[in-house]
Structures are given as C-alpha cells and as structure tokens.
C-alpha cells in the first residue's frame, strides 16, 4: 500500500466533518456562507465585519443578466436537454481570463503598483509608472471603465463596505493603488473609473486572497445566477431555440426595496 496523500481542506470522521479544523455543525448558524467561503479558501475564520464584506462581495457578482457568455453557454447547453449540472458546468467553464478574469488581472497590476510604492515611490508615481509600462506593452489596464456602467453602484458600495470593515484604511495598499490609477487616468484626461472587477481585485487582494484564486470566488458567486438561468431555460423556454445573445427583455418585477436598505 502506498503512502496516503495529504489534504488540508476537510477532515471526515464518523459523525464529524471539520472544515479547516472547525466542526461544520458548529459553523452552521454561527457564520454566514461568505465567512465559510473565506475559511475554506484562506484557512482562517474572518471577523464578523470581514464576514459581512465577504457576503457583500459574493452578492455583488451573483448575476449580470442573460448576456454574459457564462449565462449563454449554460442556456445553450440546457436547451439541448442537458442536465442541470452539465448546463451549470458549461457556465462555469466560461469563467476565464476574458470573463471574470479582470478581477485577477487587476489584482496583479495593483500588486505591481503597491510593490513599487513600497520601494519608495509615491502611490501616484507608482501608478503612473505601471500605466506607462502597460501602454508600452500595448495592453489595457484591467478593472477600469465599463461598456455599460459609467458609475457602477456596486463599486462604490463595495468600497463603502470595505471601509466599514477597516480594509486598507490608510490607502497604502491595493485600494489606495486603485485610487491612484484612477487619478493617473484623470490626469491624462481619461474618465476611466474603477469598475466592479477592479474594486473586487483591490479588496480581495487586501483580504489576502492570492490572485489565482479570485476567479474561483467569481465562480462561487455566479453559480446561483447560472442555476437560475438554467432553471428558467428548462421551465420557461422551448428546447433547441436559437438563443440571441442580446435581443432579450426583462419581464420580472421592478423597483422593489430591500427591508433593511
């Protein structure tokens, strides 16, 4: 018999399931799902404010309508008579560099700004430097500007909640770097505000998530949206229809207000 291989995620014993060392039954009812996601990916339970921020981060990306390729791929597969799980999987497979991936790319670039800042540059100098490098390489800064949203309310809400949780309070790290990039664009006369991907990249970096896991957080957040789209496709639409990627209309309720909001 060969050596057993190691895993540090979850321990299974008779009548006990422990995630990263915490009895799962004690987590149930005690922590939010956002906190549990933080725990399973980073190995530690977050404090309550950070847990609430995690929930807000996941809520921010729960869905973006029927246009993203993940929703379209999931619906296309569903329309052939596929199972729920195969259809949702096709949606997950669409979360890559071009879809969801701006979070990770932005985090890496902000990481370069922070690293330069830590060598002695001001944050604004560091941001300008990194933008010049990108421009020289013919690349765009990921996480800034948006095709649909010029002033995405999710972005300001994320920064508000991050501030409430005490994340990057003095602006010396990733959120400060993101603000410096925004200023650097403005100095060139470009209105390229941080978008929701940029905000997520900055905040998740600050929370300690490695860039290569960030797309995983986007998958976690988006799975409910994919389940909802596939479920709607299966119950409401004809099989094998031609799914136009843009020509659709929302016909659900409008203008509802959350009780506590």
Tell me phi and psi for residue 104, to 5 degrees.
Answer: -65, -45
Q: Scanning residues 150 to 179, which ones bind a copy of itself (CB under 8 A)?
A: 150-154, 156-158, 160-161, 164
Q: Work out whether 261 is an interface residue with a copy of itself (CB under 8 A).
A: yes
132-135-141-144 Cα dihedral, nearest 10 degrees: 90
Smallest distance from the beta carbon of 46 to a copy of itself, in angstroms?
Answer: 11
Of 50, 66, 117, 185, the one binding a copy of itself (CB under 8 A) is 66
Instruction: Answer yes or no: are the C-beta atoms of 127 and 183 closer than 8 Å.
Output: yes
Identify any residues that bridge with 12 across adjacent strands, giving them in sequence order.
Answer: 17
Q: Work out whether 49 is an interface residue with a copy of itself (CB under 8 A).
A: no
Q: Report which DSSP code applies to 100.
A: B
Between the alpha carbon of residue 61 and those of residues 34, 181, 219, the distances in Å are: 13, 23, 9
Region near a copy of itself per CB under 8 A, out of 20-28, 115-123, 173-181, 199-207: 20-28
Q: Report which DSSP code applies to 173.
A: S
Smallest distance from the beta carbon of 236 to a copy of itself, in angstroms?
Answer: 8
Instruction: Answer yes or no: are the C-beta atoms of 75 and 230 closer than 8 Å.
Output: yes
Q: Work out whether 145 is an interface residue with a copy of itself (CB under 8 A).
A: no
Smallest distance from the beta carbon of 117 to a copy of itself, in angstroms?
Answer: 27
Q: Scanning residues 75 to 134, which ones bind a copy of itself (CB under 8 A)?
A: 76-77, 79-86, 88-90, 92-99, 101
Smallest distance from the beta carbon of 122 to a copy of itself, in angstroms?
Answer: 32
Q: Work out whether 137 is an interface residue with a copy of itself (CB under 8 A).
A: no
Q: How far apart are the first and last CA of the chain?
A: 59
């Amino acid at each position: 018999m060969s050596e057993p291989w190691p895993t540090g995620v979850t321990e299974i014993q008779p009548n006990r399931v422990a995630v990263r060392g915490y009895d799962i039954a004690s987590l149930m009812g005690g922590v939010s799902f956002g906190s549990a996601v933080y725990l399973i990916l980073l190995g530690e339970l977050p404090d309550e404010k950070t847990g609430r921020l995690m929930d807000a981060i996941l809520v921010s990306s729960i869905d973006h309508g029927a246009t993203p390729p993940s929703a379209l791929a999931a619906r296309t597969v569903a329309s052939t008579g596929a199972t729920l799980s195969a259809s949702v999987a096709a949606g997950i497979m669409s979360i890559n560099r071009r879809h969801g991936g701006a979070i990770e790319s932005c985090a890496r670039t902000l990481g370069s700004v922070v690293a330069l800042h830590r060598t002695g540059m001001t944050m604004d100098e560091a941001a300008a430097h990194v933008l010049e490098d990108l421009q020289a390489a013919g690349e765009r800064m990921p996480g800034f500007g948006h095709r649909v949203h010029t002033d995405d309310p999710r972005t300001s809400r994320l920064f508000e909640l991050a501030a409430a949780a005490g994340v990057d309070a003095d602006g010396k790290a990733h959120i400060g770097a993101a603000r410096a990039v925004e200023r650097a664009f403005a100095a060139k006369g470009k209105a390229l505000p941080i978008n929701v991907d940029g905000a997520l990249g900055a905040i998740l970096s600050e929370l300690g998530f490695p860039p290569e896991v960030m797309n995983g957080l986007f998958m976690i957040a988006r799975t409910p949206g994919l389940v909802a789209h596939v479920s709607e496709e299966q119950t409401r639409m004809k099989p094998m229809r031609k799914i136009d990627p843009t020509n659709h209309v929302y016909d659900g309720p409008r203008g509802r207000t959350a009780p506590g909001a």
